[in-house]
Structure 1
Amino acid sequence: MTTTNWISLLFIIGLIILHFSEKYLNLSTKDPRSKLLSFAGGATIAYSFIFLIPELAHYNDVLKRLIGSESWLAFFEEYTYTLAFLGLLIYYGLDLLMSARKKKTGDTGNGLFAVHIAAFFFYNFFIGYLLVIQDFKSYWAMIVFFIALGLHFIASDHSLKAIHEEDYDKYGRWFLVAAIFAGWLTAVLFNPSEAFAAVGISFLAGGLLFNTFKDDVREGSSHNYWAFAGGAVLIAFLYMLTH
Structure 2
Amino acid sequence: MSRSRTIDTPDDLRDAVPEFLVPPETLDTVSPSGDRGGMIIGSGPQGEPMSTSILRPQPTRMVTVGGLYLARQIALRAMATGAWVIVATGRPEPWKILEQAAGETPDGQPVPLVQIRRLTPFDLPRSSEDAPLLVIHDGGAVPQELFPPRSAWQTTMYVLPYLHPQVGNGTAANTADLVLLQRLPANQAQLAGRIWHLHPPQVQQLTTLKDDGVIALGNMVWNPIQLVTNKREQEILGPIRRGD
Shorter-normalised TM range: under 0.3
More helix by share: 1
More strand by share: 2
What TM-score comes out, normalization by structure 1 length? 0.28
User: Which has the bigger relative contact order, CA under 8 A and spacing at least 6?
Assistant: 1
What TM-score comes out, normalization by structure 2 length? 0.28
